[in-house]
Structure 1
Amino acid sequence: MFAFGVVLTHTAALGFGRPLMRGLDAGTLTAGFFVVSGFLITRSARRNSVPRFVWHRAIRIWPALWVGLLFTGLVIAPLLYHQRHGTLDGLWRSPGGVLDYLRQNWWGGLRQPGIADLLRGDTPYWRWQGGAGFNGSLWTLAYEISWYLLIAVLSALSLLRRQLRWLPLLALTVVFGVLCWNYYQQVTGSQSAIWTTGGFGPLPLLGGLQRNYMLWFGFMFLAGWVAEQYSERLLINDVLGVLSLATVGWFIFDGTVFGPGLLAYAYAMIWLAVRLPKALHRVGQTNDYSYGVYIYSFAVQQVMAKAGVQAIGFVGFFLLSALVSTGFAMLSWHFVQKPALRLKDWTPAVLRDRPTEPAPPKADDRDPVVASMSS
């Protein structure tokens, strides 16, 4: 739902040069991804050794990303460049060309959104925002990977144990206090908000990270982390779930969802994961196309918009771009991601004679919240 929600919001932005609705953009939906990620990534880290955890994250993220970048740089870009210039001279090694695009974005940091002069001046998104990126959705990967690295460090320091689960709860409480303070500053027109301007970096491989997104996405990741750590005590209440959804809706219409409303958003995601019909629990268990949709949909919609496909109307553009993106996602899953994930238990030859990793904690098997979730 999140993946196609992003396609829907990008339909308005990329196809028609306007927001879908005030307060609801791809960033809003992306925040929901981080709740699920925080829950499942924490569980994965507690079940595996640090090297095995890092290996699992690497084969989950990078192979599909690399193929997606190569497809953009070696297939889409040459076709569009030749159409515009009648030659491929200047596409590859020139500043901002394909090689720069691949080098800058290879490890998950979207440090170069566009390629050469492509998609400039001839798309709705360019005319609206001056955007000429091919894989604009990938900007959130740097934040995701940064949390993977933090979890790996905390796991190495043995700080993910159940006995220390009060630590993420304390961090969540502190960050929520900051969100409430910033919301108060916003509605009163004051200028004392915390962590809303500036950033970090550029960091090696990942580029720069904005403080506001670190704050917002970090809170959502922490919420998923806390839900995992307290899963046997977490109250799943339908009244709270419905109220949370209503609260999120109110903040979206108010245009201030990145504030206290994120707590309701986080609870709503966990509640839906448990309460959605059982038939939906099977979605993604065998074939998970969501990451492929995330990787390819932005480029698909940019190319379609350049070709004028939006002339078929908003609904038609959304359905067609979602269908094409799903086709690429299926190819990515079956020919890249799934084969890569078969290597999750691979061990270098020099380490194969060492003792095997410990079995997962027994407590994990009794956690009711994750009965329908898989890491």
Structure 2
Amino acid sequence: MAEAYRGRANSFGALRLAFALVVVLSHTAALGFGRPLMQRLDVGDVAVAGFFTISGFLIVRSARRSSVPRFLWHRALRIWPGLWVCLLLTGLVVAPLLYLDRHGTVDGLWRSPGGALDYLRQNWWGGLRQLGISDLLQGDTPYWRWQGGNTINGSLWTLAYEFYCYLLVAVLAALTILRRQLRWLPLLGAVGAFGVICWNYFLHGSDGQGIWMTGTIGPLPLLGVLQQNDLLWFGFMFLLGGVAELYSDRLPINDVLGVLALVVFGWFAVSGTFFGPGLVAYAYVILWLAVRLPKALHRVGHRNDYSYGVYIYSFVVQQVMAKFGVQAIGLLGFFTASALVSTGLAMLSWHWVEKPALRLKNWTPSKLRERPDEPAPPRGGGPTEDVSEGSTAAPPSRFPAPEFHREAAVASAPA
């Protein structure tokens, strides 16, 4: 992998965008038609798991090349500005318009419990502590009639798990565990998580019981409450990506292995028993495709990374479209229309918010800057971090939350 993965010569950007669109497709059936896209497999969850694998690889690589404060600063710039603008547009533009359509006034929207200001305050730092705003969407959408969910942007719930993984990497970096001599510790963690997932399946099947399959963690500062089962599964995928980066000098990239892993992943997916071995095969397929897909795809996401914007805006777009009956054009038409609108918003988010924010990645507080009369310390000659590294998405659906969980979430999922 170390030889095959060279700077921008990879398709991680194309894969991230593809995963984001798969999440949109998964949500198309749930939000537009009140049903899962597939009965035996939540493709949204699979896409989010892919996001976490890519994120693990790129985030660990970023942490190994930066100081811990700089690493955390880069992660904050990549996630928060885009999220904040999305929340503001949802709470201050979309919500008032929907509330006005429903009540003929905006009185009661702002400061009432569960209103727009509470929505912004609860979700400002990531995660999804408040799912809906006031009584918007209640009884007005296929998703409400199917699951009773008043969720206005369900995709955001996976961001808390992404942040948790970032903080874990920062701790490992601070403890020097990401260095070559100690890289066996994250590998041991991945092996342990794999064992737990396999143990749960063989003892309990897919009934949702077992070690770390029930219960919550938290509430944690800023992140809120995390579901243990989601943290186990998506944390495992993140670990697989991170370990692949740590052992990139030993990880073979072989086309025979890639095709074999694709067959194994496909068998587990079709059979509906998608657990430990299938997840490992899936992670290998992602890394293999990242360096084996046609070179034409290497350009996707390197200059302009729209995957994150597609992920965080698509759920809102589809909920609004579903409220006004756009799904009448059929599943394919609804997917195409919502994907186009979401991509348009993602482009605006990237060029007006995310990319300008990333220009601050090398900013340093004045008190920490070198004094002009002091010589600068020698610098290493390693490659600089790609600003698109660590962009996530989450997923999509990738995932569940209290009122908005698994099938109820439609989203899969981490993002």
Normalised by the shorter chain, which TM-score bucket?
A: over 0.9
The alignment status of 1:91 with 2:103, answered yes or no, reads: no
Instruction: Name the counterpart of 1:120.
Output: 138
How many residues align? The count is: 368
Query: For residues 207 and 184 of structure 1, what CA distance do their matches in structure 2 show?
Result: 31
The farther-off stretch of 169-178 and 341-350 is: 169-178
| Conserved? CA contact 2:206–2:273, under 8 Å | no
Residue in 2 that maps onto 1:40: 58
Partner residue in 2 for 1:331? 348
Residue in structure 2 matched with residue 229 of structure 1 by the alignment: 246
Deviation at 1:156, TM superposition (A): 1.2
1:135 and 1:331 mapped to 2: Cα distance?
18
Residue in 1 that maps onto 2:170 = 152
For each residue in 1:205-231, what CA deviation from the matched residue of structure 2 results, as whole angstroms up to 9, or x when unmatched? 111111111110111111011110111
Seen in structure 2, the aligned counterparts of structure 1 residues 352 and 272 have a Cα distance that, compared at 3 Å, is same
Given candidates 175, 180, 184, the residue that maps to 2:202 is 184
What's the CA shift for 1:258?
Answer: 3.8
Task: Give the match for residue 283 of structure 2.
Answer: 266
Alignment pair present for 1:350 and 2:348 = no
SS at match of 1:90: coil
CA spacing shift, 1:374–1:309, aligned 2, 3 Å: same
Q: 2:304 aligns with which of 279, 282, 287?
A: 287
**Residue 20 of structure 2 corresponds to residue 3 of structure 1:** yes
> Separation in 1 of the partners of 2:34 and 2:45?
16
Q: Which of 309, 315, 326 does residue 298 from structure 1 map onto?
A: 315
Q: Distance between the aligned counterparts of 2:122 and 2:379, measured in 1?
A: 39
Q: Could you say if the C-alpha distance between residues 195 and 358 of structure 1 is closer, same or farther in structure 2, counting changes exceeding 3 Å?
A: farther
Deviation of 1:149 after TM superposition, in Å, equals 0.8
Contact 1:183 1:260 in 2 (8 A): no
Corresponding letter in the other structure for 2:370: D
Deviations 1:331-352 (A, max 9, x none): 0000000000000000111111
**TM-score where L is the length of structure 2:** 0.85
Asked if 1:18 is matched to 2:35, the reply is yes
Whether 1:61 and 2:47 are equivalent positions in the alignment is no
Q: Name the CA distance, whole Å, in 2 between partners of 1:173 and 1:359.
A: 36
The CA distance in 1 between the partners of 2:107 and 2:297, in whole Å, is 50
Distance 1:81 1:145 in 2: 32
**TM-score w.r.t. length of structure 1:** 0.94
Contact 1:69 1:102 in 2 (8 A): yes
- Secondary structure at the aligned position of 1:260 is classed as helix
Among 189, 195, 205, the alignment partner of 1:171 is 189
Say which of 86, 102, 118 aligns to 2:120: 102
Confirm or deny: 8 A CA contact 2:22 2:43 kept in the other structure. Answer: no
2:4 aligned residue? none
Match of 1:212 in 2: 229
CA distance in 2, matches of 1:327, 1:188: 38
Q: Which has the higher helix share?
A: 1
Q: What CA distance in whole angstroms lies between the structure 1 residues aligned with 2:389 and 2:167? A: 21
Assess, with a 3 A threshold, how the Cα gap between structure 1 residues 359 and 40 changes in structure 2: closer, same or farther. farther
Q: CA deviation at 1:283?
A: 0.4
Q: Do the aligned partners of residues 167 and 358 (structure 1) sit closer, same or farther apart at CA in structure 2, a change above 3 Å counting?
A: farther
Q: 1:345 to 1:247 in 2, by over 3 A?
A: same
RMSD after superposition: 2.0
1:41 Cα deviation from its structure 2 partner = 0.5
Is the counterpart of residue 198 in structure 1 residue 215 in structure 2?
yes
Give percent identity, aligned residues only: 71
Q: Which residue of 2 aligns with 1:315?
A: 332
What residue number does 1:238 align with? 255
Deviates more, 1:245-254 or 1:113-122: 245-254
C-alpha displacement of 1:28: 2.1
**Structure 1 pair 213/360, CA: closer, same or farther in 2 (3 Å)?**
farther
| Code of the aligned partner of 1:183 | Y
Q: Deviations over 1:119-140 (max 9, x none)?
A: 1111011111112211111111
Conserved 8 A contact 1:113-1:132: yes
For residues 212 and 359 of structure 1, what CA distance do their matches in structure 2 show? Answer: 43
* Deviation of 1:26 (Å): 1.7
CA contact (8 A) 1:97 1:116 kept: yes
| Whole-Å separation in 1 of the counterparts to 2:100 and 2:24 | 28
For the residues of structure 1 that align with 2:377 and 2:200, how far apart are their CA atoms?
44
Distance 1:187 1:8 in 2: 27
SS in 1 for 2:355: helix
The secondary structure found in structure 1 opposite 2:167 is: helix
Please say if residues 220 and 266 of structure 1, whose CA atoms lie closer than 8 Å, have aligned partners that are also in contact: yes
1:153-203 CA distance string (max 9 Å, x none): 1111111111111111111111111111112123497x9721111110111
In the TM superposition, what whole-angstrom CA distance separates every residue of 1:90-141 from its partner, at most 9, and x where no partner exists?
1000000001100000000200110000011110111111122111111110
Partner of 2:396: none
Is the 1:244–1:268 contact (alpha carbons within 8 Å) kept by the matching residues of 2?
yes
Match of 2:217, SS state, is strand
Q: Which has the higher contact order (CA 8 A, sep 6+)?
A: 2
**Worse-matched range after superposition: 238-247 or 216-225:** 238-247
Gaps (5+ residues) in structure 2? Answer: 1-17, 391-415
For residues 359 and 228 of structure 1, do their structure 2 counterparts lie closer, same or farther at Cα, with a shift above 3 Å needed?
A: farther
More deviation, 245-254/54-63: 245-254
> Matched residues in 2 for 1:254 and 1:360: separation?
50
